[in-house]
Amino acid sequence: MNLILLGGPGAGKGTQAKKLIDKYQVPQISTGDILRAAVKEGTEMGKKAKEYMDAGKLVPDEVVIGIIKDRLAQPDCKKGFILDGFPRTVPQAEALDKVLVGLKTGIDHVVSIDVDEEALVVRLTGRRTCKNAACGQMFHIKFTPSKKEGVCDKCGGELYQRDDDNEATVRNRLKTYNDATAPLIG
Closer to ligand AMP by CB, 108 or 163: give it: 163
**Exposed/middle/buried for 11, CB within 10 Å: 0-12, 13-18, 19+?**
buried
Active-site entry in 48, 57, 162, 171: 162
CA distance 92 to 184: 10
Which residue is closest to ligand AMP by CB?
32
Closer to ligand AMP by CB, 149 or 179: give it: 179
Closer to ligand AMP by CB, 70 or 149: give it: 70
CA distance 28 to 14: 8
CA distance 53 to 45: 12
Active-site entry in 88, 98, 123, 142: 88
Residues that bind ligand AMP (CB under 6 A): 9, 31-32, 35, 52-53, 56-59, 64, 85-86, 88, 92, 164, 173
Give catalytic residues, as residue numbers.
13, 88, 127, 162, 173
